[in-house]
Structures are given as structure tokens and as C-alpha cells.
Chain A
């Protein structure tokens, strides 16, 4: 411990001797690291497995069910009709299954009817959604079945925003002037990337504010705000007939997720889809080539990453910028060490081995790392703020958890050591007599 304090003291003396070059070295290094961390933060959130315990058992099921004869259309659509979803449900093979789409509405509470309604993000879904994606409840519970009901589950933040408290089960709220009862409040929960929603590159957005039963949404003619595909079935435009029309093959806007526990279940469900599609074709529907897909979370993530190649370009630029900064910082560091070479030589003459000099070099690295870490986080925060301002869809990707901070701290230490390594080696191996003679 005494030796560590001694070496830290030496480091401090070294900084005091030439504070400006030291500050410049730190500035350059921190700038490179900060830029790199900004990008790495986005990269990390976009590439992480949001639900590792289920990444092999959750599947987005798709079939090539869109109308219109097209022999080249092998890739199934991301969305399907209500009727197809019904046929894919209730197989008895899945552990859980839920259809869903996203929408939005304007909400306010009965207690504060005069207030201007606030826009909220809706997830229109079924009961098993919460079980599928391990969504935790703080109060209340999900709907008992998939029937239509004027009941919603809301997030904790939404409860606080509209009611000023979190235990609001049993309270009423208005969504687009329709009265709903709150039956559940979710605990803090976010799924990043939000891979259950594959439409519209919205995987970087936060999880929704309010969860509404699918059948209710159909009854209220609520549509998807990301992807709708309407067939050319005649519709008179009467909103009263929309619920019936939407439940036919008229509207394709549903994504369907299933949980299949094990290879056997997967195979059974694939066979189930195959049989179902064969029946549909026999009945004159599903004219396109068969294209049944079961994409697990990692497949979905991979597909979404492929559409987000801007992130790779940013990553490359940030890495090259860091490299330039490291080289420059190392050069400045070399100048500092050369200026202090006399002292290193003196220590060697007085009996310090090169290994003992490493103690001081490590102390230098420690001090530099600590300062560079703080400065790099500030620059990274600034970088993220800028990116968020330019690309609002990335706002949910700007946070750091303890694991990320720990990795960043280790990375800063390694880079700081790299910056110090060449100057330190050069100083340690320089001829002793020349310096001491001066």
C-alpha cells in the first residue's frame, strides 16, 4: 500500500511538472474514447439479446399468406390477417402465443377530464404477451382470456404520469374518449432492442405505455400505426362495418409470436403450419409459394441488424477516430516521458529494476485512466445527446448499466496502458549514463 501511494505521488509530481501537455493528452484520449463509447452504447443496445433466457424458444411465426399470385414472392410478409392468426392459434403445441400490433391514442383520466389528452403508445395484444416476454406486474394482472373487454394494462410511468401514483388498479381512464378500466400496472420493464415489434425500424423505441386487448381494438376499429396491408376487397368505408371487415382477410397488420419449448415442439408447430397452409391452398387461398417461417429472437435481431447498416458505418468511423486519438495521445505521452527520462534513469541508477519502474508506470496509467474515464463519459454523454437530438428514435439506447460502465472502465485502462506502453518502454530501455551526465 505504501508503495502504491508513493507511486501515485510520483505520478502527481509528473503531472504537476507539465500540466498542459498532460491535459492535452487526456483531452485527445478522452475525445476518442467518448466518441467510441457513444457509438458503442448504441451498438450494444442494438445487438444485445434482450431476453437471453428465451432467445431460443420465442418465435415470430410467419406464413406467405398475402393475396395475389406471385411465384417469385418467396419471403413471407411480416404481418398477417386476423383469420390467418386465428388459424395459427390454438394448436395446443405452444406454451404461449400472442398476436399484436402497435398503435396510439390520446389518453386522459376521468379525474381530470378538462385536461388536454396526452398521446400514448399502445400495444394491441393478447393475454399471453406478458408471459411470452416476461413482463413483470407491479399491481393487478393480465386479462383472464383473449375476449374483448374495456380493460387495459398500463406501465408504471403511465400510472405516475396520469394518476400521480402507481397503485391505480380499478381506476378508469379515457382512450380516444372510450372508457377503460385499469386492471394491471407493470413494474419497470424495458426490452431493448424491442424485437417483438419488427415493423418500421422501431426496435430502438421504448416499450409501450398502454396494453389493450386485441379483440377490443378490432371492435373499436383501431388500426396499426406501422404496417397495414389492405386487400382489394370492396368496403363501403362505413366504420361500423370495419370490425367485421378487419376480422376477415381485408386487413393484414398482425404479428404473431409463439413460445415453443424444445426442438420437438418446433418441429410439431412447423408441421402444423405446413398442414394449415396446405388446407388454405386447397381452399383457394394463399396463392403465393409456401414460405412458413419460425424466426427466433436471434434471427429477428440478425434481420433487423442487417437493415441498420448505418450503425456499422458509425462504428467504423468511431473506431478509426479512436485509433487516431490513441496514436496522437501516445505521441504526446512520449514527449512527456522523454522530458522525465532523466528521473527514470536516476531511479535505475539508484537500483530500481525495470520491473520496479513498472509500478510507477502503472500508477501513471491508473491516474490517467481515472481522469480519462470521467472525461470520456462526459464526451460520450455529449455525443449521445447529439445523436438523440438528430435521431429521436435512438433515445431509448442512450443509457448505461453497471456492466457497461465496468467494461468501459476496463477498456479505458487498456487504452491508457497502450498509450503509455511505448513511451514507458522507450524510457525504461534508454541508456542511463547519458541522462545522468546532463
Chain B
């Protein structure tokens, strides 16, 4: 589903070059729930951004569903993000002026769905995250955990092929973090591929695959072995 070959990303300023990703090779298969861990500054968020086409890369290739994203136009990349990728951010990134319904509906508008289809999808997504009764609430009226569930609802409303979650529980207390993780597991069990950046080893263990990144390199030979199955 995701395949990257010799992918490198360099951040340049006038004075220095920072090699954020170095010659990375990675394959994520359909239905996987992969945790991406590593120390701060190791490049995990950069990798996630590259996979989400929020960031370009300098060398190598990235194939999503067998199609290279290299050289795609802005319109094609936007459509790719909209149709195939769902994002979950650490800071939720909800629009505070919008109701929950409007927040979840937003990416569906860019997809060109009819009003009725958008309504059906938003209501279904709200039900999935357990917030159907609060569709007209605004984000500020919700707890952090609930806001993250709204963000998840927004991410899954378009039925994406893959969810990219960047420390989705980083701003939550342990109870709410557990609820969010349970929700992600449930979504994964329904067939959605998830790649999650996390600092939390416990959460990484709950994923069925653990990918480590250090200094912009995937340096663990056991990358492709499901750690849970191995009893780690």
C-alpha cells in the first residue's frame, strides 16, 4: 500500500543542511496498524508528513497504492490527500468557529460530495466516535479527548485508505488516551491502515507493528516483524 524507496529529505537554510530522512526504505501493507517511534528530532514526524504529502522529498520515490506521488501537481496531490489519506494531529486542528458537523464535513466538501452524501457520512462518522448527539456543539464545548474523537471522525468520514496519526494522544490524559487508542484499534479492525507516530512505548506495543527511526534512518532489522506477535 505504502512503499518508499531510498527516500531522503533535507532541510536547507542559508547556513546548514539537515538530513531529516536518509535513504529510507519502507513498506506498509494494507490493514496494518504501525507505530512509528523514535527520539525527538529523529525524523518521525517528517516521515509522516512526507507520507501524507504535506512535505516534499528530495531523493528516492514514494508509491501510494502503486502510484508514485513524485511529480504530481498540486491538484493531484490535494485529491490524493482528500481521498486516500486521513490525518489525525496531536493538536486536533479543529476549526473553533465550526460546529462538529461542519468540521467533519469540511474535507467532504473538497471531494465534491452532494449535501445528502456529506450528511450521511458525517453522521456515520459521529456515531463511530460516539458523538452523534453533539453534532451541533463547537470544539470549545468538548474535552480534549472528545475533540480528538471529532478529529478522528473527520479523518475517517471520507473512508480513506490510510490514517496518519501524529502523536494523537500527546495532549490527552491517560484515560482519554486509552479511549482514543481503542477507537483507533476499532477503526483498524474495520480495515483501515494506520500509521501512528508516538512517544509512548505502551501505545507502540498496542500496534501490530513497531517501526523505529533514529537520525533519519530506519535502523532496526526487525522492522517488519509484528512485535505483539513476538510477545515484545
A residues at B contact (CB < 8 Å): 2-3, 6, 13, 16-17, 342-343, 346-356, 431-433, 436-438
B79 A346 Cβ-Cβ under 8 A: no
A6 to B55, CA, bound (A): 28
B82 A350 Cβ-Cβ under 8 A: yes
A16 to B96, CA, bound (A): 12
Known contacts A346-B95, A347-B110; 10 additional CB pairs below 8 A are: A13-B97, A347-B106, A348-B78, A349-B87, A351-B79, A351-B107, A351-B110, A355-B74, A431-B55, A436-B54
B82 A351 Cβ-Cβ under 8 A: yes
A6 B89 Cβ-Cβ under 8 A: no
A249 to B97, CA, bound (A): 84
B93 A346 Cβ-Cβ under 8 A: yes
> Count the A-B residue pairs with Cβ separation under 8 angstroms: how many?
70
Return the contact of B54 from the options A6, A349, A352 (Cβ within 8 A). Answer: A349
B49 A353 Cβ-Cβ under 8 A: no
User: What are 16 inter-chain pairs, A to B, with CB distance below 8 A?
Assistant: A17-B97, A343-B95, A349-B54, A349-B81, A350-B110, A351-B82, A351-B110, A351-B158, A352-B78, A352-B82, A353-B110, A432-B49, A432-B55, A436-B91, A437-B89, A437-B90
A350 B106 Cβ-Cβ under 8 A: yes
B78 A351 Cβ-Cβ under 8 A: yes
Contacts of B109 in A (CB 8 A): 3, 6
B54 A351 Cβ-Cβ under 8 A: no
B110 A356 Cβ-Cβ under 8 A: yes
A354 to B75, CA, bound (A): 7
Return the contact of B81 from the options A2, A3, A350, A436 (Cβ within 8 A). Answer: A350
- The smallest beta-carbon distance between B143 and chain A, in angstroms, is 21
Interface size on B, residues (CB 8 A): 30
A155 to B97, CA, bound (A): 60
- The smallest beta-carbon distance between B31 and chain A, in angstroms, is 23
B45 A355 Cβ-Cβ under 8 A: no
Return the contact of B78 from the options A6, A13, A346, A353 (Cβ within 8 A). Answer: A353
A438 B91 Cβ-Cβ under 8 A: yes
Return the contact of B97 from the options A16, A346, A351, A433 (Cβ within 8 A). Answer: A16
Q: Please give me the residue from chain A that is nearest to B82 by CB atom.
A: A351
Return the contact of B74 from the options A343, A354, A433 (Cβ within 8 A). Answer: A354
B40 at interface by CB-CB < 8 Å: no
Q: Please give me the residue from chain A that is nearest to B75 by CB atom.
A: A353
Contacts of B95 in A (CB 8 A): 13, 343, 346
B79 A350 Cβ-Cβ under 8 A: no
B111 at interface by CB-CB < 8 Å: yes
Contacts of B154 in A (CB 8 A): 350
B216 at interface by CB-CB < 8 Å: no
Contacts of A13 in B (CB 8 A): 95, 97-98
A343 to B154, CA, bound (A): 15
Identify which of B110, B111, B115 gathers the most chain A CB atoms within 10 Å of its CB: B110
**Contact A351 to B115, CB < 8 A, known contacts A433-B54, A433-B55, A438-B91:** no
Q: Please give me the residue from chain B that is nearest to A355 by CB atom.
A: B75
Q: Please give me the residue from chain A that is nearest to B78 by CB atom.
A: A353
A432 to B81, CA, bound (A): 13
B43 at interface by CB-CB < 8 Å: no
Contacting residues of chain B (55-110) with chain A, CB-CB under 8 angstroms: 55, 74-75, 78-79, 81-83, 87, 89-91, 93, 95, 97-98, 106-107, 109-110
Contacts of A17 in B (CB 8 A): 97
Contacts of B52 in A (CB 8 A): 349
Contacts of A432 in B (CB 8 A): 49, 54-55
What are the 6 A-B residue pairs with the smallest beta carbon separation, nearest first?
A351-B82, A353-B78, A350-B107, A13-B97, A351-B110, A432-B54
A352 B97 Cβ-Cβ under 8 A: no
A353 to B110, CA, bound (A): 8
A6 to B154, CA, bound (A): 18
- The smallest beta-carbon distance between B127 and chain A, in angstroms, is 21
A438 to B166, CA, bound (A): 12
Q: Please give me the residue from chain A that is nearest to B48 by CB atom.
A: A433
Identify which of A6, A343, A353 gathers the most chain B CB atoms within 10 Å of its CB: A353
Contacts of B90 in A (CB 8 A): 437
A350 to B87, CA, bound (A): 8
- The smallest beta-carbon distance between B221 and chain A, in angstroms, is 29
A123 to B49, CA, bound (A): 81
Contacts of B166 in A (CB 8 A): 437
A53 to B78, CA, bound (A): 56
- The smallest beta-carbon distance between B147 and chain A, in angstroms, is 14
**Contact A351 to B111, CB < 8 A, known contacts A432-B54, A433-B55, A436-B54:** yes
Contacts of B79 in A (CB 8 A): 351, 353
Q: Please give me the residue from chain A that is nearest to B94 by CB atom.
A: A346
- The smallest beta-carbon distance between B6 and chain A, in angstroms, is 22
